[in-house]
């Protein structure tokens, strides 16, 4: 095998392994910017997803918080915990995910969004309507409890 071809194959393999490791760094439990909710983020077959994993404001034994603001009346009685609120994000490299949506159970609205892993413990989200200029940013922190 040509030495240059061999070096190229090795370099591509290493780059692919590094990219996969960066992708997996986002997986885990995150605390929302307002400190009221935990979101479990993981990689799935169709990209990055986030599942509502609990609330810091709900006491033990209390009834579950419901999706009461959902625009679809048929969905307003479902519990928020366990609900997929982020979906469809594709990895773009350098800790950045795009092309997905995020659902805000506090408002019942779904936004297009980008997600950026700033460092191991900091996640920046930008939800928007139309273009990113018209949106809101939030910073989540890793919660490894």
Q: Which two tokens stand for residue 23?
A: 């992708």
Give this prediction's pTM.
0.81
pLDDT, tens digit, 9 for 90 and up, residues 1-30 = 665 555 545 444 434 444 444 577 999 999
**CATH of residue 20:** 2.40.128.520
Structural domain total, the chain: 1
The string of pLDDT tens digits covering residues 96-132 is 999 999 999 999 999 999 999 999 999 999 999 988 7
- Give the residue numbers spanning the domain of 88: 3-142
Tell me the C-alpha to C-alpha distance, in Å, between residue 129 and each of 24, 44, 133: 28, 25, 9
DSSP tag of 73:
G
């Amino acid at each position: 095998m040509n030495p240059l071809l061999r070096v190229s194959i090795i370099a591509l393999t290493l780059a692919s392994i590094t990219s996969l490791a960066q992708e997996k760094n986002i997986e885990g439990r995150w605390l929302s910017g307002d400190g009221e909710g935990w979101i479990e983020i993981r990689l799935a077959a169709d990209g990055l997803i986030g599942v509502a994993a609990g609330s810091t404001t709900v006491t033990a034994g209390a009834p579950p918080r419901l999706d009461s603001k959902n625009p679809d009346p048929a969905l307003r009685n479902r519990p928020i915990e366990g609900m997929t609120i982020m979906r469809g994000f594709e990895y773009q490299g350098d800790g950045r995910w795009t092309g997905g949506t995020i659902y805000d159970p506090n408002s019942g609205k779904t936004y297009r969004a980008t997600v950026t892993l700033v460092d191991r413990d900091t996640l920046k989200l930008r939800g928007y309507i139309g273009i990113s200029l018209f949106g809101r940013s939030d910073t989540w922190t890793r919660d490894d409890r």
